[in-house]
Structure 1
Amino acid sequence: MIRYGIVGCGHIAKKHVDAIAAVDDAQLVAVCDTNPERLQAFATDGVQGYTDLADMLKNPDIDAVCICTPSGLHADLTIQAAEAGKHVVVEKPMALTLEDADRMIDACEKNGVLMAVVHPNRFRPAIRELRKKMDAGAFGKIGHANATVRWNRNQAYYDQAPWRGTKAMDGGVLMNQAIHNLDLLLWMMGEVDEVQSYQATRIRNIEAEDTSVSVVRFKNGALGVIEAAVTIYPRNLEESLSIFGEKGTAVIGGPTANWIKTWKFEDEPEEVSKETIARIEEDPFGIPGHQCIIQDMTEAIQTGRKPIVSGEEGRRALSLVIACQLAAETGQPVKMDTLERKQKKRG
């Protein structure tokens, strides 16, 4: 039995509670929040509550902690947990800077603990089918790919908590909303060579950007377009991932990227394609993504292997967001290799 504690009892914590409850070899034993009122709702049924993380980390019954706080706090809390010998499941984005991400990875390695980053969309049934096609080479030579997030986060959403929409704690539409889709884009397409980006705060009264459009060139030569906005009226319109190759076209979309919208492959009979689409339509959501993350982390701790979405995997999506932000700030293309070299010098 792997015993978990949760740090931060906000909105996302409920998904972690449900995920831990759904995994046979996982158990929630503690929760921590500096707000006693928020804490009270979670510290029930034998789950011990703490208002101080240091106190919770002294609990020898805790094997792993889930970091569910505002994004800007992820790094320091992860390091604190790692230094206490606890494995870490950290919500996305794992950090807001590459420096912090590297500190987190280093702390976990030095203390012999595992870290998983919550990118649960990899476990969606349609996305798994798409990955199978990528692994099989069914697209042939890929021309380009699109990652699109056209969502609504109204002003009331940002006004409900002072950290939302800030650069220090939220990070903007790419960092907070679109990073899941960027993780999928990289998972399918591989490493990025260069990125150019434009970002703006057009409609929401926030510090960070609410709209972003980027063009990327992958190291395999394919091109890509990233579009992300939280300004769509009046509600979420689309989250999609599209891949276009010489022998195949696939679009995973809907308000969230759970449905197959287009599925055409030269080497696959149309009847087979229709069967795949119909199977996804029957259960587009599958097992909840957070449950998959906790299940995978539980098994990783038990066996000593790395989680599927490790700290290094989480860092890849963060690095792309940082590159887009830098390109927008400077008005110049950013080479990923150059960005990483500068990061190593700073490290």
Structure 2
Amino acid sequence: MIRYGIVGCGHIAKKHVNAIRAVEGAELAAVCDKDPDRLSFWNEEVAGFTDMEAMLSAVQLDVVNICTPSGLHPSLTIQAAEAGKHVVVEKPMALTLKDADAMIRACERNGVRMAVVHPNRFRPAMRELRKRVEAEAFGTFSHANATVRWNRDQEYYDQAPWRGTRAMDGGVLMNQAIHNLDLLLWMMGEVEEVFSYQATRLRNIESEDTSVSVLRFKNGALGAIEAAVTLYPRNLEESLALFGETGTAVIGGPTANWIQTWKFADETDSRAAETIHRINEDPYGKPGHQCLIEDMTEAVRTGRQPAVTGSDGRRALALIVACQESARTGRPVQMDTWQGKTVAEEGSGK
């Protein structure tokens, strides 16, 4: 059995608990939260702790799942890695590239794996879209759009003091749109240049509630990102759209789970209709967190890297931080020459 411990028993922890319990060969062995009231809900069934160090000392664990507010992810990940534990860390893995790099290095230094929670990669529509990208069915890409038009009202932000702050939340790109941006990069590859506008229009928070950005990818394609939590009166849509010389695909809906457009030169209309019907008949598939825990359990057993690595998580973070930098300076950010280099580049002195 691969034994898991969860740190942070708020809302997202429930998905981790359900995922671990659904995966054969995985076991929830301990939970940790500094708030005893939140902890009491869980520790009737497993060992409960108000201190992570005490949990690591008292319980034999293979993996620690970090489910705390975002600003706490780096220190807790490093603490787990230095104790020799593999790590599953919720998105965003960190709020700064410096912290993300420290997390990656700590895991490498201690010989442990880190998986970043981007479960939307396991959605049936996204898996199908990735197959089409790998088959080069789009030909030359012209452009791509990533859109998150959601509602997070003031009551949502007032529920917890960390929400909407720069230090712990990070804003609409960091907290709500990051999954969509991870998918955009997974499909389109590296970004060369980004220019962004950001604003706090309607919510009484420190970070932005609205963001619009334009991109140029290294493959020459252009891109657009629109993200907002100001939609009235409820969530409207999340979508990812890819356009190329021989293919057009749009995955959308309130969450990006449904195929809305699926046209390829190498597919007949009837075959495309079959794909749309098959995916949209069960658009959610197996829960993404369960897929991620299955993958991490196997990665720990076999010693391979997880499907979504620390480097993957850093890539989405770097795009967001670049958007924030562009909005702050009013200038485009060149990703290759900007300070957001990859860990490998920094280590080689490039």
1:5 matched to 2:22? The reply is no
DSSP-derived class of the 2:227 partner: strand
CA distance in 2, matches of 1:290, 1:340: 32
1:275 matched to 2:274? The reply is yes
Alpha-carbon spacing, 1:342–1:141, altered in 2? closer, same or farther (3 Å): closer
Cα displacement (A) at 1:189: 0.2
Q: 1:176 matched to which residue of 2? A: 175
Cα displacement (A) at 1:60: 4.7
Cα displacement (A) at 1:340: 3.9
Runs of 4 or more, structure 1, over 3 Å off, are 340-345
Cα displacement (A) at 1:122: 0.2
Q: Deviations over 1:231-273 (max 9, x none)?
A: 0001110000000101110000000000000001111000000
Q: 2:43 matched to which residue of 1? A: 43
Q: Deviations over 1:46-79 (max 9, x none)?
A: x100001110111352111100000000000000
1:162 matched to 2:161? The reply is yes
* Residue type at the aligned position of 2:300: I
- Cα RMSD (Å) of the superposition? 1.2
Cα displacement (A) at 1:338: 1.6
1:32 matched to 2:23? The reply is no
Q: 1:325 matched to which residue of 2? A: 324
If the length of structure 2 is used for normalisation, what is the TM-score?
0.97
Q: Deviations over 1:118-176 (max 9, x none)?
A: 00000000000100100111111110000000000000000000000000000000000
How many correspondences in the alignment?
Answer: 345
Cα displacement (A) at 1:339: 2.0
DSSP-derived class of the 2:307 partner: coil
1:19 matched to 2:19? The reply is yes
Q: Check whether the contact 2:122–2:288 (CA below 8 A) recurs between aligned residues.
A: yes
CA distance in 2, matches of 1:290, 1:59: 26
CA distance in 1, matches of 2:28, 2:334: 43
* Residue type at the aligned position of 2:3: R
CA distance in 2, matches of 1:182, 1:228: 10
DSSP-derived class of the 2:179 partner: helix
Cα displacement (A) at 1:296: 0.4
- Segment drifting more, 72-81 vs 51-60: 51-60
CA distance in 2, matches of 1:273, 1:341: 40
* Residue type at the aligned position of 1:212: S
Once the two structures are aligned, what percentage of the paired residues are identical? Answer: 74
* Residue type at the aligned position of 2:128: E
DSSP-derived class of the 2:224 partner: strand
Q: How does 1:107-256 map to 2 (within 5 A)?
A: 107-256=106-255
CA distance in 2, matches of 1:122, 1:281: 16
1:70 matched to 2:64? The reply is no
DSSP-derived class of the 2:337 partner: helix
Q: Check whether the contact 2:29–2:59 (CA below 8 A) recurs between aligned residues.
A: no
Alignment gaps of 5+ in structure 1:
none
CA distance in 1, matches of 2:190, 2:141: 14
Q: Deviations over 1:287-314 (max 9, x none)?
A: 1000011000000000000001000110
Alignment gaps of 5+ in structure 2:
none
CA distance in 2, matches of 1:273, 1:10: 41
Q: 1:96 matched to which residue of 2? A: 95
CA distance in 1, matches of 2:244, 2:250: 12
Q: 1:297 matched to which residue of 2? A: 296
CA distance in 2, matches of 1:281, 1:112: 41
* Residue type at the aligned position of 2:311: E
